[in-house]
């Protein structure tokens, strides 16, 4: 009984993440800082895959670590404002415009940030 509840909960969370990815994320104007800095899947896709492959509880541990890593990536990206150039070639001015809050980076006025931002 516990595994079926856990499976149901995991399916629900995966469905909610997919809904977020389809209906909210494209319109919020931000991109995952981890994805922009390191490439690969954004945090929501990482979370969806982790829960799908590892289950809700094991996946949650992986997701928490990813969110910590993403917050660190966002902080590192913010630091480029004082350094002048990021590791991905983004100018300090472009980086300043690309920064959002939390672990997301805004795509507003983000031309020239080769990390996948769209204008």
Write the CA distances from 86 to 46, 73, 107, integer angstroms: 24, 11, 16
Helix, strand, coil shares of the chain, percent, nearest 5, are 65, 10, 25
pLDDT tens digits, one per residue of 87-107: 555 555 554 445 554 566 654
pLDDT tens digits, one per residue of 45-85: 999 999 999 999 999 999 999 999 999 999 998 887 557 75
Nearest Cα to Cα of residue 38 among 78, 84, 73 = 73
The reported pLDDT for the residue numbered 98 is 53
User: How large is the average pLDDT for residues 32-44?
Assistant: 95
Whole-prediction pTM: 0.69
Nearby residues of 15 by Cβ (< 8 Å), 6 or more positions away: none
Strand partners, 83: none
The reported pLDDT for the residue numbered 118 is 37
The reported pLDDT for the residue numbered 102 is 54
Write the CA distances from 51 to 4, 72, 92, integer angstroms: 15, 22, 36
């Amino acid at each position: 009984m516990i595994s079926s509840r856990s499976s149901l909960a995991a399916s629900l969370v995966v469905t909610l993440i997919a809904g977020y990815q389809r209906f909210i994320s494209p319109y919020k104007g931000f991109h995952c800082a981890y994805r922009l800095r390191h490439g690969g899947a954004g945090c929501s896709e990482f979370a969806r895959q982790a829960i799908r492959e590892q289950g809700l509880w094991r996946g949650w541990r992986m997701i928490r670590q990813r969110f910590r890593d993403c917050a660190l990536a966002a902080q590192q990206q913010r630091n480029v404002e004082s350094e002048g150039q990021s590791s991905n070639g983004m100018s300090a001015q472009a980086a300043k415009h690309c920064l959002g809050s939390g672990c997301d980076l805004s795509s507003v006025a983000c031309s020239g940030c080769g990390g996948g931002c769209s204008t």
